[in-house]
Amino acid sequence: MSNGSSSNNNNNNTARFDAARRVAIFGGTHGNEMSGVTLVNLWMQNSAEIQRKGLEIKPFITNPKAVEKCVRYVDTDLNRAFTQENLSATGGDELPYEVQRAQEINRMFGPKGSAEAYDVIFDLHNTTSNMGCTLILESSKDAFNLQMMNYIKKAFAPASCLVLLNEHPLLKYSTSRSVAKHPVGMEVGPQPQGVLRSNIFEAMRVILKHALDFISLFNEGMEFPPCTVEVFRVLERMDYPRDANGNIIAMVHPNLQDCDWEPLNPGDPMFQTFDGKTIHYQGSSTVYPTFINEAAYYEKQQAFVTTRRETLAASAIRKA
Amino acid sequence: MERTSVPPIHNVAICGGTHGNELTGVYIVREMQKQKMEKAGSVSVTTVETNPRAVAAGRRYTEMDLNRCFTDVLLSSPITESTPYEVRRAQELNAQLGPKGSAEAVDLLIDLHNTTSNMGLCLIFYSIDWITLHIYNSVPVRAIQLDIPSSKAYSLESVGKHGFAIEVGPQPNGVLRADIFNVVKEALDLTLQWLQKFSSGRNFERGTVEAYTFVKSVDYPRDSAGKATAVIHQNLQDNDFKLLRSGDPIFQTFSGDILKYEGEDLYPFFVNECAYYEKKIAFHLAQRKTYSFPPISVKND
């Protein structure tokens, strides 16, 4: 099939995809998440490290104004801005800065949903949460992406690289990478906003190298046999308890803080009020929390998200 | 050493939100206000959210770093339309809690801060004074001293007759960690307990404390455009207060070269503090000194 999408997800058949010729690496979608900003700036000066034969790889700073001010965003969160409504909005200079940027990025790397869109976009992020190396997927049905996840996890082992799947109809959001046919989020933490840590920087660099190696091998004609990938599927957003004025009245409990990906059982401590009382998790079954105490999510009413573990099957893939 | 009698401490100010994205102080002050914490024994307690605009914006400051606005020069500069918000705010705070250097100033001012550096719990003070050292002795912390005369002292705690900052890390900007909140709350409770004992006439024995005295700061290596060309080396990252010797790695350039420290043995702190990138500081270096303090008790007035 010539439009790059999977022709067949049946495990018995090999899914064919077009070679991925155009790849972008986004940094600075949030201007204070420093690993991506630094890596993309380095590669824009000297791209030797990211070059692969037969592949056009474009490093790109998506939100330069936010990067310059070292803030997450200037008017509105760029990584929520790629809605159809925003992408087709009129108003030019009157539009919020990030909506203008989204339209520009959609012109350069999309249009989103079309045959001309970039094949793959890697969007580099950091989090204040103790998530380690996390790859973020938006679809459970993209065999190309699932095979990439499998490849990266194996190449990175014994170090851990987990996969978060956000396919939730209400909680998924319109990311800058969603412009591409195969969007891949890379989230590494913990790292404070505005800070560059060498261990986090190096980890992201290595994961990206494996991702580019995968694409390169795929383009050369390698067949990847059927595989399974363990993912954490987003279930629910949990907010802080708040008072009538919307102020938070408790903090993530010390027992939950930094425990991303560990089981949270009904009855386990979840929040601690300022005067020392414990609030317990009231769910009906064990969940796996992540994005625990991410700084940027206080304003988005999120203390953490819950996930459940799932194993996804991916068919074999080969270049068309 | 002779027993020293020291004037009583009648009032304490506890301040938070001097940097609007350092959240522990913001929430401690709010909780104390909610609990109506106005007295600790005979000591009256005032709580102040010092930079509300920066807190509302979730930023360190809006126009200028409030915690650099308390020099004598800035406190007495005339206010015009173009005066930054934080300079005005410093003068308001000086009127409320000072004036700095006068008899009306609050007896003790404690300012609450967070750092992204792995410093644990620290007390930062300008001058070695017996009160501060005795308090330090009763709270499990490190002490950091900045050798700056009062007129040039630029931070909020210099407004009080006695003052110190409580600095705790690591905590990212914009994040509130319960473990750090609990540690700071406990440190404040111990401080207020000490003040009550002191005010009620208890004698405190002589002692010694080790404090780190600031010597100099080290910037990142930069290119001709002024951009940093290296990151803190992983051997130094998170190793605040671990002795640094000549030959130890301190930076790793983006092209992989390792840069080493050359100089006298010193103790690094504020390693990789986010807010210091713009101040051109990768880390500070300190000497460690032992200070003795005499037995003290309150002077009956």
Radius of gyration of chain A (CA): 20
**pLDDT at residue A2, as a whole number:** 41
Task: Look at residue A23 and tell me if it is in a domain.
Answer: yes
Which of B156, B184, B195, B297 lies closest to A251, judged by CA?
A: B184
Task: Look at residue A266 and tell me if it is in a domain.
Answer: no
Catalytic residue numbers of A read 187
Task: Look over chain B and give the mean of its residue pLDDT values, rounded to a whole number.
Answer: 92
Mean pLDDT of B103-130: 92
Contact (Cβ atoms closer than 8 angstroms) between residue A165 and residue A231:
yes
**pLDDT at residue B242, as a whole number:** 97
B172 vs A193: CB contact, 8 Å cut-off? yes
**pLDDT at residue B150, as a whole number:** 77
Residues of chain A numbered 167-206 and touching chain B (CB < 8 Å) = 190-199, 201
Q: Does the pLDDT at position A6 exceed 50?
A: no
pLDDT digits (tens, 9 = 90+) for A77-89: 999 999 999 999 9
Identify the closest residue of chain B to A293 by CA–CA distance. Answer: B175
Q: Coil, helix or strand for A29?
A: coil
Question: Which chain B residues are Cβ-neighbours of A131 within 8 angstroms?
Answer: none
By residue range, what is the domain housing residue A40? 16-231+314-319
**pLDDT at residue A120, as a whole number:** 98
Q: Does the pLDDT at position B128 exceed 90?
A: no
Q: Does the pLDDT at position A246 exceed 70?
A: yes
Residue A126's pLDDT band (boundaries 50, 70, 90)?
very high
Residue A8's pLDDT band (boundaries 50, 70, 90)?
very low
CATH number at residue A59: 3.40.630.10
Task: Look at residue A225 and tell me if it is in a domain.
Answer: yes
Identify the closest residue of chain B to A251 by CA–CA distance. Answer: B178
Q: What is the pTM of this model?
A: 0.94
**pLDDT at residue A45, as a whole number:** 93
B116 vs A274: CB contact, 8 Å cut-off? no
Distance CA B142, CA A176 (A): 45
Task: Look at residue A279 and tell me if it is in a domain.
Answer: no
pLDDT digits (tens, 9 = 90+) for B17-52: 999 999 999 999 999 999 999 999 899 999 999 999
Which amino acid is residue A13, in one-letter code? N
Contact (Cβ atoms closer than 8 angstroms) between residue A40 and residue A124:
yes
Task: Look at residue A273 and tell me if it is in a domain.
Answer: no
User: What CATH fold (topology level) applies to the domain B4-210+291-298?
Assistant: Aminopeptidase (3.40.630)
What are φ and ψ of residue B68, in 5° steps? -125, 10
Question: Which chain A residues are Cβ-neighbours of B277 within 8 angstroms?
Answer: 194
Distance CA A300, CA A313 (A): 33
Task: Look at residue A245 and tell me if it is in a domain.
Answer: no
Look at chain A and report how many structural domains it folds into. 1
A192 vs B274: CB contact, 8 Å cut-off? yes
Tokens (6 digits) for A193:
């906003």
Task: Look at residue A304 and tell me if it is in a domain.
Answer: no
Task: Look at residue A257 and tell me if it is in a domain.
Answer: no
**pLDDT at residue B209, as a whole number:** 80
Angle at B189 between CA B186 and CA B194, to 5 degrees: 125
Residue ranges at the known binding site of A for substrate: 79-80, 173-177
Mean pLDDT of A287-291: 98
Q: Does the pLDDT at position A266 exceed 70?
A: yes
Distance CA A159, CA A134 (A): 12
Least trusted range by pLDDT, from A193-202, A230-239, B125-134: B125-134
Mean pLDDT of A247-267: 98
Domain boundary assignment for chain B:
4-210+291-298, 215-286
**pLDDT at residue B301, as a whole number:** 57
Question: Which chain B residues are Cβ-neighbours of A254 within 8 angstroms?
Answer: 178-179, 182
**pLDDT at residue A309, as a whole number:** 98
pLDDT digits (tens, 9 = 90+) for B276-298: 988 999 999 999 998 888 888 88
Contact (Cβ atoms closer than 8 angstroms) between residue A184 and residue A138:
no
CATH architecture of B215-286: Single Sheet (2.20)
How many of the other CB atoms lie within 10 Å of CB of A277? 9
